[in-house]
Amino acid sequence: MEFSIKAQSPEKVRTGCVVVGVAEGRRLSPSAKALDAAAGQHLSRLLKQGDLSAKLGQSLLLFGVPGVAAERVLLVSTGSEKKLNDREYRTLVRSVVQTLDGTGAKDALFCLTEISVADRDEEWNLEQLILTARESSYRITRVADKQDPACTLSQVAIPASEKIKPAALATLISRCQAIANGMALTRDLGNMPPNLCTPSYLAQSAKSLGKRWKLKVEVLEQAHMEKLGMGALLAVAAGSRQPPKLIVMHYAGAAKNQKPVVLVGKGITFDTGGISLKPAPEMDEMKFDMCGAASVFGTMRAVAEMKLPINLIAVIPTCENMPDGNATRPGDIVRSMSGQTIEILNTDAEGRLILCDALTYAEKFQPDTIIDVATLTGACVIALGHEAAGLFANDDKLCEKLKAAGDYTGDRAWPMPLWEEYQDGLKTNFADMANVAGRPGGSITAASFLARFTRKMRWAHLDIAGVAYKGGKDKGATGRPVKLFCRYLIQRSGQ
């Protein structure tokens, strides 16, 4: 889906469809008024007949409106309030795209940045319009079957703005496209079947991403991990026939001496639980256990396409958690790269094991800030549901910035505590720590485990178990939290 800017007034634009908002009580938006005037009050007369429900997102598709150059006019209800809230605005855009998808309108003019959203400006409207439209037009790439037809709406024009200069508008559009492209990559990787999306496949994808976007890419093999003493990561990989990989991608957009942000993404390409085997129902969804890694891929791609003036490094530990004959047993003790020993009491708590070695490895990049992202715990889904990611940090300012980035984009994260008291649950008689505590506060004790490996760094952890993918009839990866990351990094870069 492409986006462009149109300076002409809406009635003059030759396009498949002009989309304008109408609020309850037949209150026409400025563009709707312009169409109505050109059409000799044709729209007002129609609306009086009551064919457009006032419910947000309901719409009326009209053909051959007199005085209007476009083939169609779509009147869409913006609801009863003077101003929409964030969620309502996104719903509005989504329903417009869904309504036009499958019609003959290949292109359209969306007069929707003029719709008022409480406490938001036109820039926000534009960003949300593009990102939401792109999200709605996404299709799962089928590997075994014929593809679903692509969204028929392929060209969206947006009216020129009085407040934002054309050049700034063009920059905004291409930036949003970059973010949307990143999200689509994240979703594509997440949606792939786990027999194809293996650690080796992710390593290959990193190399192609590197070629296309001029990133330096290194892939560390098992022998290298053994040399580095990554006993925790290797303990997870031990039960699988698939060799583990540690993928490192470097994006250099700023001077060499500027300390990088490091993103670490959990890349379990399938989580059976290992010897602590998971129950059968919904186990297929554990193909999404690499969505943290996928979101780091998507963010790297977006940042490279946006050419942000920052240094960004991706570190992706990836393997499969399988119950092979060589698999790690509950009770096994391993030494992590940090030197700390871990008694593995539950092989299903494998995310923290691969992440702890990746976090220790990342110390060598002397990050300004390090953020890990993982589908880490079912407990986080119980705590926050599917709305917000769990947000943990050892730095209050960093926590605040990430939360703000989530609020702005609608890709929300919610702060969770990391008090020392939670460390007690990880105590064991046999090693420096166990890899699990009891059931209470499971997402917090998992984060507390990671905190033991990041004491020397400014660090945050996002538990995306509840937000990275959807189950049920809408099953699929969501592309979260790419929007949050991009907003955070854009703000950081001062752009």
Q: Which residues are catalytic?
A: 278, 352
Pick between residue 153 and residue 376 the one whose CB is nearest to ligand BES: 376
- Residue 152 binds: one of ligand BES, Mn ion, Zn ion, none (C-beta under 5 to 8 A by kind): none
Q: Decide if residue 272 touches ligand BES (CB under 6 A).
A: no
Helix or strand run (H / E) with residue 389 = strand 389-393
Under 8 Å between Cβ of 213 and 182: no
Give the shortest CB-213-to-Mn ion separation in angstroms: 31
* Nearest position to Mn ion, beta carbon: 348
Give the shortest CB-267-to-ligand BES separation in angstroms: 12
Give the shortest CB-318-to-ligand BES separation in angstroms: 14
The whole-angstrom distance between residue 23's C-alpha and the CA centroid of its chain comes to 31
| Amino acid at residue number 73 | V
Pick between residue 89 and residue 449 the one whose CB is nearest to ligand BES: 449
Q: Which of 127, 188, 348, 357 binds Mn ion (CB under 5 A)?
A: 348
Pick between residue 464 and residue 482 the one whose CB is nearest to Zn ion: 464
Give the shortest CB-346-to-ligand BES separation in angstroms: 4
The CA distance from 170 to 164, in Å, is: 10
DSSP secondary structure letters along 209-257: HHHHHT-EEEEE-HHHHHHHT-HHHHHHHTT-SSPPEEEEEEEE-S-TT
Give the shortest CB-271-to-ligand BES separation in angstroms: 5
Q: Decide if residue 442 touches ligand BES (CB under 6 A).
A: yes
List the x/- string, 275-314, binding to ligand BES by CB under 6 A.
Answer: --------------x-------------------------
| Amino acid at residue number 334 | V
Helix pair 86-100, 122-137: axis angle to 10 deg = 40
The CA distance from 444 to 426, in Å, is: 11
Under 8 Å between Cβ of 38 and 11: yes
Number of residues assigned to the chain:
495
Under 8 Å between Cβ of 253 and 308: yes
3-state secondary structure of 344: strand
The span of 121-129, 267-275, 364-372, 466-474 binding Mn ion (CB under 5 A) equals: 267-275
Q: Going by C-beta distance under 8 Å and a sequence separation of 6 or more, which residues neighbour residue 179?
A: 131, 302, 306, 482, 483, 486
- Residue 332 binds: one of Zn ion, ligand BES, Mn ion, none (C-beta under 5 to 8 A by kind): none
Pick between residue 188 and residue 348 the one whose CB is nearest to ligand BES: 348
Q: Which residues pair with 335 in a beta bridge?
A: 341
3-state secondary structure of 127: helix
Q: Which of 303, 349, 399, 444 binds ligand BES (CB under 6 A)?
A: 349
Under 8 Å between Cβ of 37 and 9: no
Q: Decide if residue 11 touches ligand BES (CB under 6 A).
A: no
180: left (phi > 0), else alpha (psi -120 to 50), else beta?
A: alpha
Pick between residue 253 and residue 378 the one whose CB is nearest to ligand BES: 378
- Residue 232 binds: one of ligand BES, Zn ion, Mn ion, none (C-beta under 5 to 8 A by kind): none
Give the shortest CB-382-to-ligand BES separation in angstroms: 9
Pick between residue 289 and residue 463 the one whose CB is nearest to Zn ion: 289
Please name the residue that has the structure tokens 């092989």.
347
The span of 19-27, 235-243, 375-383, 416-424 binding ligand BES (CB under 6 A) equals: 375-383
3-state secondary structure of 420: helix
Q: Which of 135, 289, 332, 357 binds Zn ion (CB under 5 A)?
A: 289
Structure tokens at 393: 């940090």
The CA distance from 480 to 299, in Å, is: 10
Residues forming contacts to ligand BES in the complex (CB under 6 A) are 271, 289, 346, 348-351, 375-379, 381, 436, 442, 465
Residues forming contacts to Zn ion in the complex (CB under 5 A) are 268, 271, 289, 351
